[in-house]
């Protein structure tokens, strides 16, 4: 998960830095309304962020046994929904995880805000849209760097905001690109390592699917072998030719349910049969 991939020399300290971000409190935990409203089986940015943070925390607690207390046992947590209270009780003993949850709420709200703030919601480079994957990667790496710099300067609020932004972009890469459709099962090896160019990228002018007149065309991207992204919004406009539509690549949809847009789709959020536009936090930003 993230801490081992942040460009740092020692995974241990960077994991600790990230954990520190989650410790001091500044606000209350905010339940994720989208997790209740979204289509069945869908996952929101907030859900992913919170689950990943709990995973990383468990990993850290396992690696660094609590001084003067029995070590945690992985088998006590396998196959169960991780809860902050359980993790903290096992590590620190009786007490509250309220401050941790508050800090995690800051991270996940900053993540969600990337879809709702006017300054960020339409910027393709913050969402891996519009065939600008190289630019998106540069912004993602920049946000991770800012996270670490702010954490080192003990500016935890800023660090949590930048971490939320970085995680949003990271999640968008996998949901707005065809990485999964290309058959990849592992994280992109160069996404967080800016020295290596991203390879095999589709260009703006490349058609990425075959034209299709149906409302939903779940198979018309097959055979496309370059890494491509969806389009969202009007800037930059979707070029002519068949381009993958954004709704098809929404994080809430499973890979198998991600048809690309047919020719002419600009804002396809409302066109997916199983997804109402108002239930699509990724493209309407009414949440968070």
Query: What whole-number distance in Å separates Cα of residue 264 and Cα of residue 239?
Result: 9
Which of 255/270 has CB closer to ligand NAG?
255
User: Contact region for ligand NAG (CB under 6 A) — 50-58, 93-101, 266-274, 280-288?
Assistant: 50-58
State which of residues 37, 52, 60, 198 lies at the interface with ligand NAG (CB under 6 A).
52
Which of 55/274 has CB closer to ligand NAG?
55
When asked if residue 51 is in the footprint of ligand NAG (CB under 6 A), the reply is yes
Window 9 to 48, contacts with ligand NAG (CB under 6 A)? 48
When asked if residue 6 is in the footprint of ligand NAG (CB under 6 A), the reply is no
Which of 48/227 has CB closer to ligand NAG?
48
Query: What whole-number distance in Å separates Cα of residue 253 and Cα of residue 275?
Result: 9
Which of 1/222 has CB closer to ligand NAG?
1
H runs (alpha helix) in the chain: 2-5, 11-21, 33-37, 45-63, 84-92, 98-113, 133-152, 156-176, 281-284
- Would you say 283 and 269 are in contact if contact means Cβ atoms under 8 Å apart? yes
- Would you say 87 and 61 are in contact if contact means Cβ atoms under 8 Å apart? yes
Peptide bond into 236 cis (omega under 30): yes
User: How many residues form the binding site for ligand NAG (CB under 6 A)?
Assistant: 5
When asked if residue 210 is in the footprint of ligand NAG (CB under 6 A), the reply is no
Query: What whole-number distance in Å separates Cα of residue 252 and Cα of residue 36?
Result: 12
Which of 48/191 has CB closer to ligand NAG?
48
Dihedral angle sign, alpha carbons of residues 222, 227, 233, 236? negative
Where do contacts with ligand NAG occur on this chain (CB under 6 A)?
Answer: 1, 48, 51-52, 55
């Amino acid at each position: 998960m993230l801490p081992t991939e942040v460009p740092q020399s020692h995974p241990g300290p960077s994991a600790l830095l990230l954990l520190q971000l989650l410790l001091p409190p500044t606000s209350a935990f905010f339940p994720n309304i989208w997790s209740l409203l979204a289509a069945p089986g869908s996952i929101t940015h907030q859900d992913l962020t919170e689950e990943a943070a709990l995973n990383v925390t468990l990993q850290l607690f396992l690696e660094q046994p609590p001084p003067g207390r029995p070590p945690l046992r992985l088998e006590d947590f396998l196959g169960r929904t991780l809860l902050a209270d359980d993790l903290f009780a096992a590590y620190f003993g009786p007490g509250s995880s309220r401050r941790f949850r508050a800090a995690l709420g800051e991270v996940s709200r900053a993540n969600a805000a990337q879809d709702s703030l006017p300054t960020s919601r339409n910027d393709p480079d913050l969402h891996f849209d519009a065939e600008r994957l190289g630019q998106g990667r540069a912004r993602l790496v920049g946000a991770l760097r800012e996270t670490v710099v702010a954490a080192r300067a003990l500016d935890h609020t800023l660090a949590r905001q930048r971490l939320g932004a970085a995680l949003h972009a990271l999640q968008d890469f996998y949901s707005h690109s065809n990485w999964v459709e290309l058959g990849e099962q592992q994280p992109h090896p160069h996404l967080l390592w800016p020295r290596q160019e991203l390879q095999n990228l589709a260009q703006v002018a490349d058609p990425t699917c075959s034209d299709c007149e149906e409302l939903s065309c779940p198979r018309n991207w097959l055979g496309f072998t370059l890494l491509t992204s969806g389009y969202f919004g009007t800037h930059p406009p979707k070029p002519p030719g068949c381009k993958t539509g954004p709704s098809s690549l929404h994080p809430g949809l499973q890979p198998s349910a991600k048809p690309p847009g047919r020719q002419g789709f600009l804002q396809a959020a409302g066109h997916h049969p199983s997804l109402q536009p108002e239930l699509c936090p990724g493209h309407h930003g009414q949440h968070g």
